[in-house]
Amino acid sequence: MIEFHPVTSVNDAIFTQLYELYSTSFPANERRSWAGLDRELNIEKRFSANALIENKQFIGLFNYWLFDKFCYVEHLALVPQFRSQRKGSITMNMFQQKTSLPIILEVEMPNNPDAIHRIKFYENLGFKVLSHYYAQPPYEGGGFLMPMLVMSNDYHFSNTHFEMIKNTLYRDVYHFLPQMEEHFYFTYTSKSVASVEGTKVSSLSIAGIRIVSPFETSTGSFPSLSIFKVPSRHM
């Protein structure tokens, strides 16, 4: 049976294993630094970092935030040798049984097979893509808002209260105060660096990956992206 083992400090014996998996499973712009994770563990009571343990063996990590009206699953990752064994599904089902609150999570845009597979993984667990624009702020320092999708296992609540959810994530998870609300900003790199500001686009090629909008998921279609330069965060 998979167990959630709370990790409350970077000094915990298992933290090194957790952080190694964390840092290799997620790109730098989609996770915290060691110091950033240390900060949340020390001062943020709503944040919970968990090592996934099965048969006394570390198999993965599961980090989430518990807010008054919803839970936000920030990161889920499994050690490579334990992937494709339904352990991710088992973990998510266990978590859904632990809380009666709606669960929120972010997923990448469906621009490659891995991203599409990830969306389908959560759809099979009862999650749906919300029909709202969303962009993930940078975790630390100045940076760029990355267009993402938000999924929930309670579509009606999350779709109805999307602005509250987004503002909570921006303020409490990312410590980010947006200066502009209507547009996304995105830079892309091929042989040269380029940016597009304040422009409606129907497609974009980013590091060799083509983003096309509108796009379709099994839960709906989404209109074209807008993009804009992101101010430095306030911290």
pLDDT in tens, 84-115: 999 999 999 999 999 999 999 999 999 999 99
pLDDT in tens, 142-187: 678 899 999 999 999 999 999 999 999 999 999 997 654 444 444 3
Pairing type for strands 71-78 and 103-108 reads parallel
* Average of per-residue pLDDT across 112-131: 96
pTM of the model: 0.79
Give residue 94's identity as a one-letter amino acid code.
M
Boundaries of every domain in the chain: 1-65+74-84
H helices within 44-147, ranges in order? 87-98, 113-123
Looking at domain 1-65+74-84, its CATH class is alpha beta
Q: Return the SS3 of 63.
A: strand
In degrees, to the nearest 5, what angle opens at C-alpha 90 toward C-alphas 85 and 91?
Answer: 110
- The whole-number pLDDT of residue 177 equals 79
Cα gap 108→44, rounded to integer Å: 26
